[in-house]
Amino acid sequence: VRVLEYHRGVLFLTTNRIKTFDEAFLSRFSVAISYPELDQTGRFAVWSKFLELAGCQIVETVEPDQKDAISKSELMRLASEPFNGMEATNSSDSGRTIKNSVRTAQALALSTNSPLSLRHVRTVVNTQEKFLKEFSQSRGQKRNHEVLECEE
């Protein structure tokens, strides 16, 4: 806390754990900004940006010879589907999650020596959803086991 109080420069602190944040820090902040969860329009913009940065073209209609393109309608469909398992980690469908998904899809495409496509993105998203669902279920089982141990 003291280091923050006497810091002379600009400092950006971020957290997704606002409920566990120590109130002693709040009086030392000049500005606090809260970002709402991404809606479909926000997810579309974030997906578009990271896919374009990864070399993927966002087009109205994908032509047969365009291997590195995703249509706006396909992207809108993707953006309309928040990750089903995200509530399992008390997180939202954040820009970081989308960025990591695109990076993983890009690595998958590189490993198969093919251009990044919606198929790669869908593979990553489906795999992550499956993992998050299993993770959520295992945490629930662990909590149930802990309750049983406490009752004994």
pLDDT of residue 101: 95
Domain ranges of the chain: 40-151
pLDDT per residue as tens digits for the range 37-96:
888 999 999 999 999 999 999 999 988 888 889 999 999 999 998 765 444 344 455 788
With contact defined as beta carbons under 8 Å apart, do 83 and 135 qualify?
no
At 143, the amino acid letter reads R
Closest CA to 80 of 42, 133, 123, 35: 42
Query: Is this model's pTM higher than 0.85 or not?
Result: no
Q: Categorize the per-residue pLDDT at 33 as very low, low, confident or very high, splitting at 50, 70 and 90.
A: confident
Residue 116 has pLDDT above 70, yes or no: yes
Handedness of CA 121, 127, 133, 136 (dihedral sign): negative
